[in-house]
């Protein structure tokens, strides 16, 4: 499967995550729900890494890569904690579009720090997605 297939699979899984998580946080604190989700993700990925024989790569991670992966993990944890709390307090149909506003922020950070190019098509697409998210949460 190429990157597009994985990106579409990610979108499908994220959609399922939002719907399933909304039901899951009905009777438990959002922090406990996030902890359970994180434990499941950790177990799932550990099994995958061991089965694929990739666990040996851990010893080859450079200090720079490790630092950025740890920072990314902290950002993911904060994102998940905030997302589950938002799901607990608001409707999925509003929380999910706001969460997807990470897209313009990601594009901006990629342009600033990774020097990825910005085209007029990319800018227009991002603007339309932002407009769509804003229209959705005002519905």
108 pLDDT more than 60: yes
Rounded to two decimals, the pTM is 0.83
Instruction: List all residues 6 or more positions away from 85 whose beta carbon is below 8 Å from its beta carbon.
Output: 30, 31
Are 60 and 117 within one domain? no
* Domain annotation covers residue 8: yes
Give the max Cα distance, the chain.
50
* Domain annotation covers residue 95: no
Are 71 and 114 within one domain? no
pLDDT digits (tens, 9 = 90+) for 39-50: 999 999 999 999
Are 110 and 79 within one domain? no
Instruction: Write the DSSP string, 58-119.
Output: GGG--HHHHHHHHHHHHHHHHHHHHHHHHHHHS-HHHHHHHHTTHHHHHHHHHHHHS-----
Contact, 25 vs 87, CB < 8 A? yes
Are 35 and 78 within one domain? yes
pLDDT digits (tens, 9 = 90+) for 43-99: 999 999 999 999 999 999 999 999 999 999 999 999 999 999 999 999 988 888 899
Are 10 and 58 within one domain? yes
Could you list the residue range(s) of the whole structural domain that residue 86 is in?
3-90
């Amino acid at each position: 499967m190429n990157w597009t297939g994985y990106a579409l699979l990610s979108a499908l899984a994220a959609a399922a995550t939002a719907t399933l998580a909304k039901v899951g946080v009905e009777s438990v604190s959002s922090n406990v729900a996030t902890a359970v989700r994180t434990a499941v993700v950790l177990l799932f990925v550990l099994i995958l890494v061991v089965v694929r024989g990739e666990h040996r790569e851990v010893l080859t991670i450079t200090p720079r890569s490790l630092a950025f992966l740890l920072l990314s993990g902290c950002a993911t944890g904060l994102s998940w904690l905030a997302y589950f709390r938002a799901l607990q307090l608001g409707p999925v149909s509003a929380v999910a579009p706001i969460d997807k506003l990470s897209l313009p922020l990601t594009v901006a950070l990629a342009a600033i720090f990774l020097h990825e190019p910005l085209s007029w098509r990319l800018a227009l697409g991002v603007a339309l997605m932002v407009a769509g998210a804003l229209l959705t949460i005002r519905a």
